[in-house]
Amino acid sequence: MAEILFNETNMRLRIEAESWEAAVGIGGELLVAQGCVEESYIDGMIQNVSQHRVDVVIAEGIAIPHTRYEDGAFRTGISLVTLKTPLSFSGSKEMVKVVLCFSAMNLQDYWHMVSFALDLIEYGVLDQLTEAKTLEEVKSIVALC
């Protein structure tokens, strides 16, 4: 998925987060810093995880926190947070180590982001992504998809 571009401003690698809320908050702040969403979008993502965990934790190892664009999105964007220590999201049995927060302005953008996350699973690169320490490593891993 070459269209999904990561850079130094939209990712944090191998972080320690004390909770899933903190991990989503970090990803959300990256979206805010990019000018994709306003602060209220972060609260919307956390509320969405609390209410719809099944839709957010899409497989062992990965969560895709997001909410409706009406909750404060200005444009489509993505952020990547990888965790040193996997976390359970809102009581989920699956442990999450890759957090892809995103904002989408329409259904096409939404499915594009979901498709990207599914490609990471299908190509079996979640563990590699979790171990990545540099932007260059992330780009090489994403290029495999």
Residue 119 sits at the vertex; the CA angle it makes with 114 and 124, to the nearest 5 degrees, is 135
Active site residue 66: yes
Q: 71, 44 in Cβ contact below 8 A?
A: yes
Residue 58: in which H helix or E strand, if any? Answer: strand 57-59
Over residues 20-74, the pLDDT tens digits come to 999 999 999 999 999 999 999 999 999 988 887 667 899 999 999 999 999 999 9
Q: 124, 62 in Cβ contact below 8 A?
A: no
Identified catalytic residue from 30, 42, 63, 66: 66
- Inter-CA distances, 59 with 64, 77, 79, Å: 10, 21, 18
Task: Output the DSSP codes for 86-115.
Answer: EEESTT-SSEEEEEEEEE-SSHHHHHHHHH
Over residues 69-119, the pLDDT tens digits come to 999 999 999 999 999 999 998 878 889 999 999 999 999 999 999 999 999
